[in-house]
Amino acid sequence: MTAETTADATAAKSGNAATDKFRSSGKTAAVAADVARVNLLASKLIKAANDIVLEERVTYDEFNALKAWLIKVGDDGEWPLFLDVWLEHSVEEVATDHREGNKGSIEGPYYVPEAPTQQSPATISMREDEKGTKLLFQGQVRSTDGSPLKDAKVELWHADEEGFYSQFAPGIPEWNLRGSFLVDSEGNFQINTMQPAPYQIPTDGACGQLIAAAGWHAWRPAHLHLKVSAPGHELLTAQLYFPGDVHNDDDIATAVKPELMLDIQPAGSGNGVQTTYDFVLDPVK
């Protein structure tokens, strides 16, 4: 049997992998339903949909096309992609608007917990011939009072130079460009990785069908995904972006914030680039 490569990647394979990861994450059993809250939210959602039908005089042909498309989203396993691209940024804003520390961003559909753990300084897991520009990502984790958090952990994951994520595209080692990193006694971390590339979200499935029909583009700017945690502090989920990317201003996921932009400099080693970005976490109240 011939091994699959990233050239064999499809929206359905990626979408179904994202759906399976979400089902196994434990998040599906998180909330005990509050009847009044379900009534409020469900009623508002249904009313908003009906208002659109009445205001825009939606036809039966359009209604049936919507039905067929919603079924296809499920068949392709793309509900995690759809919700993370077009809705999560607002949920994230509500969840973190009280914070005094760093701004966060969406998690996205491609997070995988329990990545291999290393003590910083470290090099993320990657192929021997990993393509791209070497990137040294470094900084410090502190609390809002300025004290370093010596027990902090930095989880990092991102796409490769071709825009693919391990565990969501074939032919890539399981933990490629994924890792968890423990800071030193002063809260400092240094992670050697590769600079990711911009990429299009999968376009051969239901989400791509919507994008094409609406005349949108499917591009996300290059970014690093992070989760930064420390005992007694709120978990920070973030994406960090690279200046000059043509899609920083029109990200399909609407997730770019000025506070999340990196400062990229030539590496001190003379090989690749480096950036310093500190994280300030809010204590749990």
Strand duo 273-276 + 199-200: pairing: unpaired
- Mean pLDDT over all residues of the chain? 92
Strand duo 279-281 + 134-143: pairing: parallel
pLDDT band for position 202 (cuts 50, 70, 90): confident
- For 168-195, write each residue's pLDDT tens digit: 999 999 999 999 999 999 999 999 999 9
- For 68-105, write each residue's pLDDT tens digit: 999 999 999 999 899 999 999 999 999 999 999 999 99
The answer to the question of residue 62 being in a domain is no
What are the C-alpha distances in Å from 87 to residues 2, 83, 94?
38, 5, 12
What are the C-alpha distances in Å from 160 to residues 6, 130, 195?
11, 8, 8
Between 19-23, 64-68, 204-208, the lowest mean confidence (pLDDT) is in 19-23
The answer to the question of residue 130 being in a domain is yes
Number of H helices, E strands in the chain: 6, 13
Token pair of 132 as six digits? 């791209």
pLDDT of residue 17: 72
CATH of the domain at 144: 2.60.130.10
Q: How far apart are CA 3 and CA 149, in angstroms?
A: 44
Task: Decide: 195 and 133 in contact? Cβ < 8 Å.
Answer: yes
User: Which whole number is the average pLDDT over 236-257?
Assistant: 96
Q: How far apart are CA 233 and CA 219, in angstroms?
A: 33
Task: Decide: 45 and 37 in contact? Cβ < 8 Å.
Answer: no
Query: For residue 168, what are the domain limits?
Result: 94-281
Strand duo 273-276 + 134-143: pairing: parallel
Phi-psi category of residue 215: left, alpha or beta, with phi > 0 → left and psi -120 to 50 → alpha: left
The answer to the question of residue 263 being in a domain is yes
pLDDT of residue 136: 98
2 pLDDT more than 50: no
The answer to the question of residue 53 being in a domain is no
Give the contacts of 272 (CB within 8 A, at least 6 positions apart): 133, 134, 135, 136, 195
Task: Decide: 37 and 96 in contact? Cβ < 8 Å.
Answer: no
The answer to the question of residue 204 being in a domain is yes
List, in sequence order, every residue forming a beta bridge with 279; answer none if it has no partner: 141
User: Which whole number is the average pLDDT over 256-274?
Assistant: 95
Q: What is the largest CA-CA distance in the chain?
A: 64
Task: Decide: 201 and 85 in contact? Cβ < 8 Å.
Answer: yes
The answer to the question of residue 13 being in a domain is no
Instruction: Quote the number of domains for the chain.
Output: 1
pTM of the model: 0.86
